[in-house]
Structure 1
Amino acid sequence: MNRLIRYVFKHKNTGKIETKRCYLSQLETNPTEALAPFVNNSNYDLISRDLCFDEEKGVFVGDLIYVNNWFGNYIASVKFGEYDQDGSGDEYGPSKCFGFYAEAIDPTGTNEDGYVIVPDYLVQDTMLKLESYKRIGTIYENIEQREESK
């Protein structure tokens, strides 16, 4: 499987964020060409290397997504690794899982009726189960949105 990877670089003087996407096969055949001019440039720092979850929507680990669900809408961060998954509605204890998941930025947010939008058992939810989501940026591009949602 040829995985898409996003590299995020930060310019040392300006703080400007630059991204470069390339497939693993590109890195294996021409590593310096795939990431030039950033790798051989002392003006940039590599700040993130992210796997792609959804190529069609351009969603990578580290992205912020706007999730629509039946309890309400919320903002989540896409992550990869081990997480607790509990789709039982607290009927059973959570299971340890590994893979791509969305973690709610503000798990205590409520809707206009005062109900919690993200129940405890959905704070960390597999990306495969999300019915509707939209990429809104990265944690590097949308710092203000991330802070507002806390």
Structure 2
Amino acid sequence: MDIFIRYVFKHRFSGNIEIKKYSTSQLEACGAKKLSPCFNETDYELIARNLCFDEEKSVFVGDLINVTTRFGNYIALVKLGEYEQDGSGDEYAPSKCFGFYAEATDPDRTNEDGYVIVSDYLVQNSLIRLDSYKVIGNIYQNPNLLEEAHERK
């Protein structure tokens, strides 16, 4: 099974962002520097190296996703690491988990009827548990999406 990695580079002179995606087998077969001129440290700065959660949907750490719930949609940032998962509705203490998860960028957002869209247990939620979401961009090429989400607060 291949693991896919997204590399995010910034051109040192123009400031342009370049994104390259490679599998571990591609990297092992010929080495990174032969795959792209972006691996030339003189011309490019490596900004991020993100693991892929879902190769089919092309979901990587650092992506912003639009999550659909029965109460409305919300924006979340895809992360990898330790988070707390609580599916009990505050009946039990949240469990500490490690893996890919979505963290709501605006957890206090309400719908037109005044109901909170992001329940407490959805603020940090395993990507596996999400029923419906769509990638809307990443924080490297679309930092404005993250800023807009914070401005709505």
Give TM-score, length-normalised by structure 1: 0.95
1:128-147 mapped onto 2 (5 Å cutoff): 128-147=128-147
CA distance in 2, matches of 1:22, 1:138: 17
Q: Determine whether 1:106 maps to 2:126.
A: no
Please, which runs of 5 or more residues in structure 1 have no aligned partner? Answer: none
Please, which runs of 5 or more residues in structure 2 have no aligned partner? Answer: none
1:41-56 mapped onto 2 (5 Å cutoff): 41-56=41-56
Shift in Å, 1:41: 4.5
Q: Determine whether 1:84 maps to 2:80.
A: no
**Amino acid aligned to 1:33:** K
CA distance in 2, matches of 1:10, 1:64: 19
Shift in Å, 1:120: 1.3
Aligned Cα root-mean-square deviation (Å)? 1.1
The one-character-per-residue Cα deviations of 1:35-72 (angstroms, maximum 9, x if unpaired) are: x2011241210000001111111110110000001121
Give the corresponding residue for 1:148: 148
Q: Determine whether 1:14 maps to 2:14.
A: yes
Give the corresponding residue for 2:74: 74
Percent identity of paired positions between Structure 1 and Structure 2: 63
Give the corresponding residue for 1:33: 34
CA distance in 2, matches of 1:27, 1:145: 31
CA distance in 1, matches of 2:41, 2:143: 26
The one-character-per-residue Cα deviations of 1:62-100 (angstroms, maximum 9, x if unpaired) are: 100000011210000001111100011111110001111
Deviates more, 1:7-16 or 1:47-56: 7-16
State how many pairs are aligned: 149
CA distance in 2, matches of 1:13, 1:119: 44
**Amino acid aligned to 2:81:** G
The one-character-per-residue Cα deviations of 1:99-126 (angstroms, maximum 9, x if unpaired) are: 1100001111111111211111110000
Q: Determine whether 1:24 maps to 2:4.
A: no
